[in-house]
Amino acid sequence: MAGDHLTSDPITVDQVEAIARNKLPVNVYNYYSCGSDEQTAVERNRKDYDGLLILPRVLRDVSRIDTSAQLFGHRFPFPVGIAPSAMQRLASPEGELDVARAAGSMGLNLTLSSNSTTSLEDVMVARRQVGETAAPFWFQIYLASDLNLSVPIIKRAEAAGFEALVLTVDTPVLGNRINERRTPLVLPEGIHLANLKHQDTQGPRKPSFNREIMDARSAKQASDLMQTAGDTANSASLTWSSTMKFLRQTTNMKIILKGVMAPEDAQLAVECGADAIVVSNHGGRQLDCVPSTIQALPGVTEVVKGKIPIIFDGGIRRGSDVFKALALGADFVLVGRPALWGLAFNGQEGVETVMNILERELSRTMALAGVAQLRDICTSFLRYAEGGRLSKI
């Protein structure tokens, strides 16, 4: 039957997600898929690509399509890496190891979440085991209120061989994630946050302090919880100058700032010496009433002017979405949830399936648009769809 074939051999990312949704426990699927408040940011991230149309050129030689991209001196087979996503062993027993093997075997970039359920050292062992094809990996982090508490894990990441430190800058507190407040996600027995030494692995499982603070019903309750959490909660007092100074003094890894949306912040990132930025709204999981990332990207591109790489994430499900992001100025793109759906679908092979789908769709889109190389993708290929008419970007 056709439906059975698609179940075993999906050919779109949406089909992979449908399989994952059926396989995952409801609370795990909701944790991965849902955003904050009414989830309008999640919806905008997906839908706003549809307001951008590709205006193809014809009679151009597209017999050889080159999807390869260069970043930090390394050439990737195509400009899509895997974004940091927490607690991947909830999706598959091998979790982060399967994702690392998939990325390593395909020569793709992976950013490991500090809230991973596999240690950063074990992930790098899995990367090395695939041999010469492995690309550089990056490590994501939230800084604690006491910055000194973050030093050991930064040092571990550098010693393990991660190329870059990806600091998430949009999470002084967690967004209002309704589904998590209704059904708090608690890691089951046998799974823990493998990089966090201060956690209590004994006794009853309970949500983290950050999630308890998210669910506070009054300002006083939130304040009391903050006092209990002490210096281990996410820092809400980071500043441009002090944070970049701390990071430069602590590590020789490249510094990437993830969660930049405003052009003014992109300009500050350049001025403060960040090696790259990620235009991201945290998958719609923080402030719900924000623009989609594809809406925010042109403003960031305008001020950065190629001085540092612009990495982009948010709502990408098709190769044409990647094309549109590159046309608006992104140098590289990350996908988060699609990799999780692939992991839940079929472990390492499922992640590889998702990345192959996106690569093939991007290659096909380029050919049909009349573009043979990534460097030729630009805004002249895009039009806004407004009221039944097309307008230039």
Report CA dihedral (90, 92, 97, 100) to the nearest 10 degrees: -100
DSSP letter string, 141-194: E--BSSGGGGHHHHHHHHHHT-SEEEEE-S-SS----HHHHHS---PPTT---T
Query: Rounded to whole angstroms, how far apart are CA atoms 33 and 31?
Result: 6
Q: Is 316 annotated as a binding residue?
A: yes
Q: Is 107 annotated as a binding residue?
A: no
Of the candidates 249, 277, 282, 283, the one whose C-alpha atom is nearest the C-alpha of residue 264 is: 277
Residue 5 annotated as catalytic: no
Which amino acid is residue 87, in one-letter code? M
Q: Is 73 annotated as a binding residue?
A: no
Q: Is 84 annotated as a binding residue?
A: yes
Distances (CA, A) of 17 to 26, 39, 217: 13, 18, 34
Which token pair is 194? 């493998």
Element (H, E) at 389: strand 389-392
* β-strands 332-335, 276-279 pairing: unpaired
Q: Is 182 helix (H, G, I), strand (E, B) or coil?
A: helix
Q: Is 342 annotated as a binding residue?
A: no
What's the angle, vertex CA 262, arms to CA 170 and CA 146, rounded to 5? 30
Of the candidates 331, 269, 371, the one whose C-alpha atom is nearest the C-alpha of residue 56 is: 371
Q: Is 85 annotated as a binding residue?
A: yes
Q: Is 277 annotated as a binding residue?
A: no
Q: Is 267 annotated as a binding residue?
A: no
Q: Is 74 annotated as a binding residue?
A: no
Which token pair is 392? 């230039």
Which token pair is 27? 């609370």
Q: Is 57 annotated as a binding residue?
A: no
Of the candidates 207, 210, 123, the one whose C-alpha atom is nearest the C-alpha of residue 168 is: 210
Q: Is 198 annotated as a binding residue?
A: no
Q: Is 282 annotated as a binding residue?
A: yes
Report the DSSP beta bridge partners of residue 165.
139, 255
- Other C-beta atoms within 10 Å of 64: how many? 8
Q: Which residue has the tokens 């602590």?
A: 250
Q: Is 248 annotated as a binding residue?
A: no
Q: Is 230 annotated as a binding residue?
A: no
Select which of 74, 192, 198, 282 is catalytic: 282
CA-based end-to-end distance of the chain: 44
Q: Is 101 annotated as a binding residue?
A: no
Q: Is 317 annotated as a binding residue?
A: yes
Query: Catalytic site residues?
Result: 282
Q: Which residues participate in the annotated binding site for glyoxylate? A: 31, 142, 177, 282, 285
Q: Which residues participate in the annotated binding site for FMN? A: 84-86, 113, 140, 168, 258, 280, 313-317, 336-337
Q: Which residues participate in the annotated binding site? A: 31, 84-86, 113, 140, 142, 168, 177, 258, 280, 282, 285, 313-317, 336-337
